[in-house]
Structure 1
Amino acid sequence: MISVVNEGQAIKHTDYWQSEQARVGYLFLSWNAGAARLLVPDASEALLKEVRGSQYVIISKGEPEGRAALELLFEDGSDTPFVVHILLEQSDRLQTEAEQGGDFVVRVWTRGGSQLQYPGKYRVVGTLPDFSPWQAH
């Protein structure tokens, strides 16, 4: 279990960086105070270059192959936006279906702190992947 000590939208402390999950390269999504914080392990910091320039992030909850997961689509207006999939175990909580919409931010964190911030949008879909644009929901 990953421990996160919050200070509003900021992360005051977490043991994620020393965890086995971070060591093997798993991302972790932590929610607090209107922010989804994507924790990126040292080995995956190249992800920052891929998502830089995104306009917003669509987080979709769905079930690829019958297992609940989240898709984070970094919408940049191109035909091939950067997308990452994580299992629900890689998140400390789940938005409810009633929380669909876009009143939160997505902050990308590394060991060095918050690196990037984007408007966030959340939706529940049937299956993943779901690369449909936000307007389709």
Structure 2
Amino acid sequence: MHIIENDGPAISRTNYWDSAHAARGYAFLSWNAGAGRVLLPDALAPALPDMRAARYVIVSLGPWLEQGAREAWELLFEDGSDAPYCLHLVAEQSDRRLPDTDQGGGFVITVWTRDGEQLRLPARFRKVTEIPCLDPWAEQ
């Protein structure tokens, strides 16, 4: 089980980077105080430059058909290119589900490595009919 201690939107302490999930390369999405915090395992740290190219993050929630229609997250780091960086997580890789009423913007996504916060971007949330979605943002 992941222990995450919060200081508002910041993570003050966690055991995530020493967990079996991190060792297997699984990211984790934690929510607190208006921020979605992506805990990035060492194996995914080389993706940071691609993430940093983004202007904002589109957070989509819906059934991942290839994974037996399990509920899943898609984090699309929108950089305006034809191939933005995208991260897919099953619902168990997150500590919370956002309510439908949170669709739109008004929060940030931060990316954390064992060295601390690496990136902070504005984010937008939407419910989708299936993951992967990969669609650009369209006003709801």
User: Match for 1:115 among 106, 109, 118?
Assistant: 118
After TM superposition, the runs of 4+ consecutive aligned structure 1 residues lying more than 2 A away are none
Instruction: Determine helix, strand or coil for the equivalent of 1:115.
Output: strand
Instruction: Determine helix, strand or coil for the equivalent of 1:43.
Output: helix
Corresponding residue of 2:98: 95
Corresponding residue of 2:83: 80
CA positional deviation for 1:12: 0.5
- 1-side partners of 2:70 and 2:92: how far apart? 11
CA positional deviation for 1:118: 0.4
Q: Deviations over 1:85-130 (max 9, x none)?
A: 0001000101111111101000000000000110011100111111
Instruction: Determine helix, strand or coil for the equivalent of 1:49.
Output: helix
Corresponding residue of 1:52: 52
- 2-side partners of 1:48 and 1:9: how far apart? 20
What 5-or-longer segments of structure 2 have no aligned partner?
A: none
The CA RMSD measured in Å over matched residues stands at: 0.9
What 5-or-longer segments of structure 1 have no aligned partner?
A: none
| TM-score, L = length of structure 1 | 0.97
- 2-side partners of 1:11 and 1:132: how far apart? 30
Corresponding residue of 2:127: 124
CA positional deviation for 1:43: 1.6
Identity %: 50
Q: Deviations over 1:19-44 (max 9, x none)?
A: 00000100000000000000001121
Corresponding residue of 1:3: 3
- 1-side partners of 2:8 and 2:132: how far apart? 31
Corresponding residue of 2:74: 71
Instruction: Determine helix, strand or coil for the equivalent of 1:17.
Output: helix
